[in-house]
Amino acid sequence: MIPLGRIEEDTITITEQTEEHLSDVDVEPLPHIEFEIGDNVVYPHHGAGQVIRKEEKDVLGERREYLTIKILHNDMTVMVPSENAALAGLRRVINDETLKKVQAVLQDECSEMPKNWNRRFKHNRDKIKTGDIYELAEVVRNLAVRESEKGLSTGEKQMFTRAKRILASELMYALSMDEEEVEEHIHGLMGTTPNGNGRKVAVAAK
């Protein structure tokens, strides 16, 4: 996402370049999802939030319907054209079945990661970029385990904190918990603690 001036404080929106890029991606057409005010949704790279407005706006010289989403964990708002919401990755909060699978990922053993710091950072960053909650949960789990066993670099600590906040924001809705309860729940599943202590062993790739 690229900032587009100040439509309103802490609000970002999709630009024409981003939309052109999305239209050029060769993917199967996604089903149209109708979002309404009050829906709890997830926006990739930002986390869970709520649709607070649905209105027509003149942006970049074109009048279109936009959804305004307030992100839960940082109070930022995001504007997304309604017609491109699904293509941009906007989706509803996970259901109970998906929640169980995400919890299973967090409970699983640490998967292989590159030994080299730069490769490991890119490996995890690419997983987060997919917007897939299972990949996100895997990154959170692997970094939590590595932190408890070997410690994290400054860059990886920042990545871990951000990934955990994105995951926690969705689990807050899915589990009807507050931020502190969800963090305890996540670390409880992983067998670690927020201060980096834990017993799981990370496995390094050859």
pLDDT of residue 23: 47
Is the pLDDT at 206 greater than 60, yes or no?
no
pLDDT of residue 17: 41
The angle at the Cα of 123, spanning 119 to 129, to the nearest 5 degrees, equals: 140
Q: Which residues of 79-104 are buried (b: 16+ CB within 10 A; e: fewer)?
A: bbbbebbbbbbbbebbeeeebeebbe
pLDDT of residue 58: 87
Tokens standing for 166? 């994105």
For residue range 147-183, list pLDDT tens digits in order: 988 889 999 999 999 999 999 999 999 999 999 999 9
pLDDT of residue 18: 42
Domain 11-92 architecture: Beta Barrel (2.40)
| Nearest CA-CA partner of 196 in 167, 156, 166 | 156
pLDDT of residue 61: 86
How high does pLDDT run on average in the chain? 82
For residue range 111-140, list pLDDT tens digits in order: 888 888 889 999 999 999 888 999 999 999
* Contact between residue 78 and residue 12 where contact means Cβ atoms under 8 Å apart: yes
pLDDT of residue 45: 81
pLDDT of residue 196: 63
At position 34, the amino acid (one-letter code) is: E
Tokens standing for 18? 């981003």
For residue range 54-87, list pLDDT tens digits in order: 999 888 888 999 999 999 877 799 999 998 888 8
pLDDT of residue 130: 87
DSSP string covering the chain: ----TTSSTTEEE--HHHHHHHHHS--PPPPP----TT-EEEETTTEEEEEEEEEEEEETTEEEEEEEEEETTT--EEEEEGGGTTTTT-EEPP-HHHHHHHHHHHHSPPPPB-SSHHHHHHHHHHHHHT--HHHHHHHHHHHHHHHHHT---HHHHHHHHHHHHHHHHHHHHHHT--HHHHHHHHHHHHTB-TTS-B-----B--
pLDDT of residue 31: 61
Topology, domain 96-190: Methane Monooxygenase Hydroxylase; Chain G, domain 1 (1.20.58)
Is the pLDDT at 105 greater than 90, yes or no?
yes
pLDDT of residue 62: 85
Is the pLDDT at 2 greater than 70, yes or no?
no
Is the pLDDT at 3 greater than 80, yes or no?
no
**Domain positions in the chain:** 11-92, 96-190
